[in-house]
Structure 1
Amino acid sequence: MSRQQGSERSFVVTGGARGIGAAIAARLTQDGHVVVIDTADTLGDSARPSTELVTGDAGDPAIASSAAEQAESVAPLAGWVNNAAIFRDASLTTATAADILALIDANLRLAVTGCHTAVGHFTHRDRPGAIVNVSSHQAQRPVRGALPYATAKAAIEGLTRAVAVDHGPNGIRTNAVALGAIATARLDEYRSTHPEVDAQLAELQPLGQAGTADEVATVVAFLLSGAAAFINGAILPVDGGRSVNGPDPEAAARPR
């Protein structure tokens, strides 16, 4: 891709070739140039003229640094989105402690590496910037069987607050979005064998349905924008009210 200084800002999105990450990358092209880090060989759903791909592990500091430099070569890097994640269930009775720790590390490493790279890039240039970490409602309310994922997401929310406190004085804002059920190919695959999932989601998420990847992308773009200039260290639920819903066996008997 030819290097032109036409964009005012650039962004890095990890795990941005498909799903929620692709929607985030596509939305951010409205605000500048986007570099996606993904293990995929092609951009897939996020293919846009102002998007380019760095293929590799977002948890690898060399890959992350390369993406930051690619973004900077087009326009000043202004925002970083740690979206990449690994979904693999394990429990204390079916896996070894070492295996569980490896799964936790696999997810946490992605966010730590991204934050480390972004903060280093911004501070080296004495520039403000913004980071958004993608978390989950499971950080506060785990789903049975997803212990490594829930543990990693809880740690990522702690990381978000700590980076906000440590580097807020440098003008670096760090926030997170905690997602509920979002309509993606992964949910569609689950729905094909569990047709009851839509009714269950309607009970869990007070708005009555799964969210969309575009709705998540809109919130992420807001947190990276100047409109969120005084928001730092926040964990913003994007879950249709799932995190505040208190299921109760007597609820059905109450009038609505």
Structure 2
Amino acid sequence: MSYSIEGKTAIVTGAANGVGLAIARHFADKGANVMFADMDENRLAKECGQETDGGNMCYFAGDLREKLTLNNLLSATLDQFDRVDILINGARQMMPTDPLDLEDDTMETLIGQNLMPAYRLSQIVARRMMKQSNGDSDRQAGAIINLSSIASRRTQKQILSYSVSCAALDQMTRSMAVALAPERIRVNGVGFGSVMSASLKDKLKDHPNYRKEIEANTPLGRIAAPGALAEAVQFLASEGAGFMTGQILTVDGGRTLIDPVVAPAH
């Protein structure tokens, strides 16, 4: 069974830094055509701007919370690569929550950032995948992978809104998997923790002892590099996972096997 993604076209959101950037670069290295998408145009230009001319990498900057921006992202991808085979919804944000503060609006913010763009972009891209498949029933029409977090299964008041947004994303993954299965579009997710995401890197700058706490609560005893997720995402995107849909693949160094609720949030 092949895990190749060579020649496929992928859209990766959240691709300006951290996990999203690592996945986008990995896919490009493996021969896929990759549209790097994010809000941070300066960072996108820095990371891949010199490699976009006639190559297999291109970038799109815009606010993915806006429906028009999502349509423009798909149009830009089709203009550059003619089709889209893989969508990786990797744009995420983490914010602390005060559950008893009536003025705290992080729930609305994180649902709007972590769930709705992934949902709307999946709808738009799925329609394109259906159109370009031309009724070919012998192969998959496309693959969608949503990046989530083990926070969706944990109970910590300080990340209540983030946990809810991730749990909603997991349920969206399962529901869309059933809805799109007749169209031969697979939808899976990766729930990760103990990975050096952009938000965790920022956290460690302010709290140096945080690393030791995380490592002590991770059976494999370390924080993984962002690229650790890339192979797992490639597998889910490939024909090798052709009979997998609606699954949330956990990549967390074993954190959820022993995780007490008092352990750090990442």
TM class, shorter-length: 0.7 to 0.9
Output the CA distance in 2 between the equivalents of 1:187 and 1:92: 22
Comparing 228-237 with 140-149, greater Cα deviation is found at: 140-149
- Structure 2: give runs of 5+ residues left out of the alignment: 1-5, 135-140
Distance 1:151 1:184, change over 3 A: closer
Give the superposition deviation at 1:103.
Answer: 3.2
Comparing 119-128 with 154-163, greater Cα deviation is found at: 119-128
- SS of 2:98's partner is coil
> How high is the TM-score relative to the length of structure 2?
0.84
Which of 52, 73, 89 is residue 58 of structure 2 equivalent to? 52
Match of 1:135 in 2: 148
Comparing 185-194 with 151-160, greater Cα deviation is found at: 185-194
Output the CA distance in 1 between the equivalents of 2:128 and 2:48: 24
Residues 204-243 of structure 1 show CA distances to partners (whole Å, capped at 9, x for unaligned) of 2111111111111111111111111111110000100111
**Number of residue-to-residue matches in the alignment:** 243
Root mean square deviation, CA, Å:
2.2
Distance 1:46 1:138, change over 3 A: farther
Output the CA distance in 2 between the equivalents of 1:143 and 1:247: 10
Which structure's relative contact order is higher, taking Cα pairs within 8 Å and 6+ residues apart?
2
After TM superposition, the runs of 4+ consecutive aligned structure 1 residues lying more than 3 A away are 44-49, 95-99, 246-249
Distance 1:46 1:87, change over 3 A: farther
Comparing 146-155 with 46-55, greater Cα deviation is found at: 46-55
Match of 1:39 in 2: 39
- SS of 2:34's partner is strand
Match of 2:203 in 1: 190
Counting aligned pairs with the same residue, the percent is: 27
Output the CA distance in 2 between the equivalents of 1:37 and 1:12: 7
The amino acid that maps onto 1:77 is V
Kept in 2: contact 1:60–1:113 (CA 8 A) = no
Q: Is residue 150 of structure 2 the alignment partner of residue 151 of structure 1?
A: no
Give the superposition deviation at 1:98.
Answer: 5.5
Output the CA distance in 2 between the equivalents of 1:218 and 1:28: 9
- SS of 2:129's partner is helix
Distance 1:248 1:107, change over 3 A: closer
Kept in 2: contact 1:54–1:63 (CA 8 A) = no
